[in-house]
Amino acid sequence: MTARVRSITFDCGDPAALAAFWAGVTGRAVVNDGTPESPEYLLADPADPSQANLLFLPVAEGKTVKNRLHLDLQPTDLPREAEVDRLLGLGAVLLADHRAPDGTGWAVLADPEGNEFCVERSAAERAVTGE
C-alpha cells in the first residue's frame, strides 16, 4: 500500500499573505480564500490535480526554529539565477548561497514568514552538465 501527499501545510500568522506569496512562486490558483469560520487558504494546480496542494492555516505562535522540512524548487521556465531574483522580488530573503562558479549548487531562501526553501538549477541547466 502507498499514500499520496494530498497537501503540504504551512502553519502561519497571516495565511492570506503567505498564500499570495506562494501563489506567486508556484503559479497555482487560490481555490479557497478563507472565511472567518474557516480561515484557511488552499493553493491547487487545476491542470494537475494529482499534485500536492499547499494549505495555509493560522496559528498564534510564530516560527522559532529552523524548519525540519523544506521545499526544493526547480525552475520550469527560467534559469536558477533569474528564478532567485524573481523570488527575491516577491518578498523572499536569501539565507545561504551555495551556488558554485561552475553553475552547480543551490540557494537557500526564506518566505515572508521565515520558512526556508531551496532553489536548484532548472532541468535545462542540468541537461547541459549531464546531471
Which sequence spans correspond to the domains of the chain? Answer: 1-59, 70-131
Assign a CATH topology to domain 1-59.
2,3-Dihydroxybiphenyl 1,2-Dioxygenase; domain 1 (3.10.180)
Pull the grid cell for residue 128. Answer: 547541459
pLDDT, tens digit (0-9, with 9 covering 90-100), for 119-131:
999 999 988 877 7
pLDDT, tens digit (0-9, with 9 covering 90-100), for 14-70:
999 999 999 999 999 888 776 677 788 999 988 888 889 999 999 888 777 777 789
- R_g (Cα) of the chain, nearest Å: 16
Helix (H) or strand (E) holding 93: strand 93-97
Other Cβ atoms within 10 Å of 37 Cβ, number: 5
Local structure of 112: helix, strand or coil? coil
Which of 79, 98, 74 has the alpha carbon at shortest distance from 25?
A: 74
- Distance CA(105)–CA(108), nearest Å, equals 10
**Chain mean pLDDT for the chain:** 90
Architecture per CATH, domain 70-131, reads as Roll (3.10)
Pull the grid cell for residue 75. Answer: 525552475
CA 118 to chain centre: 8
